[in-house]
Amino acid sequence: MVHRKNGNSDQEKIQRLSGLNVAARMRLFRQLPGHQQSRLLLMLPSEIQQATLRKLRNPELVELLDYLDPDHATDLLQKLPGKKRREQILENLKKSIREKVEFLLEFHPESAAGLMDLNYIQLASDTTFQQAAEAMREHEARTGKIPTLLVEEDGLLIGELPAHELALHSPKSRVGRHLKHLPTLYYHENKNKVIDLFKNNPHNKVVVLDADESILGVIYSDDIISLLNKQAAKALYDYAGVRQEEDVFDSARRKVQSRYKWLIINLGTAFLAAWVISLFQDTIDKVLLLAVYMPVVAGMGGNAGTQTLAVMVRGIALKEITLKNCSRALINEILGGVFNGLIIGIIVALAAAIWNQSPLLGVVLGVSMVANLIIAGFFGAIIPLILKRLGNDPATSASIFITTATDVFGFLVFLGLGTILLT
């Protein structure tokens, strides 16, 4: 109950801090105790976090970082502009933290080493359970965290000693006989390799090795979940055409700067669809009912294209599909468009024929719906693959091109058939 209340309190503080201007935010932030400052700073949106770091004085930053474990302190220092200032802050950190932070800062933040944690202790394979328990208690007393127990032999990792094993065996027994295998990877591997390893190995941690296969650190599943959440958030921002750094409490000016380019692009594609409609102005003047059903055609095509895009972007992100092996997926999406188009087309055709007493209008709508869902399946599948091949993020701009394709070709089919059959 208490934990839940504290969590709510933190969220309330974050919302309040995010909604204030810089001066008011810093006044409120400085009124908080140091341990609260460190915890809340990690939870703030990225842009507000960086702005707060820039405004804090060096002694304030040193006090704040002393409350954090080395990997979180390293993350914050990497976001601080100015190498000289980072060095000044490092010099004033507690020795126990400074040495670990300096070590972590040597690695690229996007690498396996940049993601690793130093919360572990190394044990020799002939260590007794009593010695292992004492080492763990000393580490916990010093850091406040229960460490991972890694067992090595001749300087090489041979496995992990699960903490629960300490309670199951004689104090004089050797730990080397009761180990659990852990996956490993080298320090220079990028974050995508780390994510793939966690997906393929249902473990809650991975050990990071140096070039000589000595142990450097441990990556925990919590860190990977956090990384995946950040990637998912980035994909969502990109999909909507919004800068990743934009926050819900940003000023109106910043929101305009973040979005106007995408809105202009969308406006251009809307004019293209409007031009296609203008080609059939005489038909629309003669059969006004066509104008009534145009939003239905456009809406169904756009929705179907978006569904296909979502599936393709996920496949691209998981490296399951490329332009080279897309033929099967492309055929399946087109066939899916045919059958979904038939289902929706029959419903729409019957509705139009009964409601408007016009079987021919029903035929025009039904055929147009089938055609537009085929168009949506094709372009929804091929456009993100082409954008990826060209080196662009398919989640960023594919939706604009897909919607344009379904609108333009959908209106061509719908109004073209209307011209042929109804005028």
Most confident of 45-54, 88-97, 301-310: 301-310
Closest Cα partner for 312 from 252, 232, 385? Answer: 385
Confidence grade of residue 7 (pLDDT, cut at 50, 70, 90) = very low
DSSP string, 146-170: PPEEEEEETTEEEEE--GGGGGTS-
HEC sequence for 21-69: CHHHHHHHHHHCCHHHHHHHHHHCCHHHHHHHHHHCCHHHHHHHHCCCC
Q: Could you tell me which residue, 219 or 2, shows the higher pLDDT?
A: 219
pLDDT for position 371: 92
pLDDT for position 402: 87
For 224-251, how does the pLDDT look when each residue is reduced to its tens digit (9 = 90+)?
Answer: 766 665 555 555 455 444 444 445 555 6
pLDDT for position 210: 81
Mean pLDDT value across the chain = 79
Determine which of 4-8, 50-54, 309-313 has the lowest per-residue pLDDT on average: 4-8
* The pairing of beta strand 120-124 with beta strand 148-153: parallel
Domains of the chain: 2-106 (1.25.60.10), 115-229 (3.10.580.10), 252-422 (1.10.357.20)
Most confident of 203-217, 290-304, 384-398: 290-304
For 351-379, how does the pLDDT look when each residue is reduced to its tens digit (9 = 90+)?
Answer: 888 888 888 888 998 999 999 999 999 99
